[in-house]
Amino acid sequence: MTSVPFALALVLVESRWPPLHRLDQATAERLHTTALAHPGWVRFLGVLSDFVWDPATMRFLVAVCVAWLVTRRAWRLAAWACVTAVAGGLIGLLAKSAVERARPHLPDPVAHAPGFSFPSGHAMTATTSCAILLLVLLPVVPRMWRPLPWALALVTVAGVGYTRVALGVHWVSDVVGGWLLGVAVVAATTLAFEAWRADTGRRRTTMTEGLEPELTEPEPEAPQADTGPSADVGPHGRTGAGGAT
């Protein structure tokens, strides 16, 4: 069920549904006109798209998160993060190769990008990466501050989509397709992780508390060796049983 919205978007793109086609064309032309009139804005969007919100940057943040999980011995959560990130990248490439949609062709383009257009790899990577970081790190964020990482994630995902369309390297439907496919991948791997938790007797979690709330619980201390009851030791180091003089 999680892939149904993406499948619908794919059908509409492949059939060149007229309302969607008109939306893509009109948005691309309007944003391209704005880009040509504001070269400084284009440079700023290029920095965001190619450095700050670049897929390589997103994957690096996920890799740092996985390394931290390994230091916490959260093996299953680290495995989930790795599988989600890798699966998202591979599925995105397969979808691009299957659809083979051409990128926008605009007069005086302000940016270029290789490969096919649908779905947007930037949008999909931003979606999967932000979801991974959110679902892993929410337990370590104080409850009153949790709206902040949610807002940051939403701004990042929406901002990535906007920059790709504004730079003229993707259609609006490419970005929407990337978002939907990213959500589908995260939903599928999260369901598998929840089933994994259920097998170990742990409760189901919610999106507001992260995938593994137990991450903040201190590790149990190792039991101390039993050196014998201290009450039997007398004041001079002799045992109390029959040791008095």
Supply the pLDDT for residue 202: 75
Q: What average pLDDT does range 169-189 have in this prediction?
A: 96
φ, ψ for residue 240, nearest 5 deg: -75, -20
Both tokens of 114, joined, read 């290789």
> Which pLDDT band, with edges at 50, 70 and 90, does 195 fall under?
confident
Give 11-55 pLDDT, tens digit per residue.
999 999 999 999 999 999 999 999 999 999 999 999 999 899 999
Supply the pLDDT for residue 234: 45
Q: What average pLDDT does range 196-211 have in this prediction?
A: 75
> Which pLDDT band, with edges at 50, 70 and 90, does 133 fall under?
very high
- Amino acid in position 136: V
- Amino acid in position 113: A
Model confidence, pTM: 0.84
Both tokens of 76, joined, read 């299953």
Supply the pLDDT for residue 224: 52
Domains assigned to the chain: 4-105+114-215 (1.20.144)
Q: Taking 80 as the threshold, does the pLDDT of residue 241 lie above it? A: no
Give 150-164 pLDDT, tens digit per residue.
999 999 999 999 999
Give 51-94 pLDDT, tens digit per residue.
999 999 999 999 999 999 999 898 999 999 999 999 999 999 99
Listed in sequence order, the residues at least 6 apart from 211 whose beta carbon sits closer than 8 Å to its beta carbon are 77, 80, 135, 136, 190, 193, 194, 205
Both tokens of 7, joined, read 């499948």
Supply the pLDDT for residue 233: 45
Q: What whole-number distance in Å separates Cα of residue 103 and Cα of residue 112?
A: 9
> Which pLDDT band, with edges at 50, 70 and 90, does 213 fall under?
confident
Dihedral of alpha carbons 159, 160, 161, 167, sign:
positive
Phi-psi region of 101 (alpha: psi -120 to 50; beta: other; left: phi over 0): beta
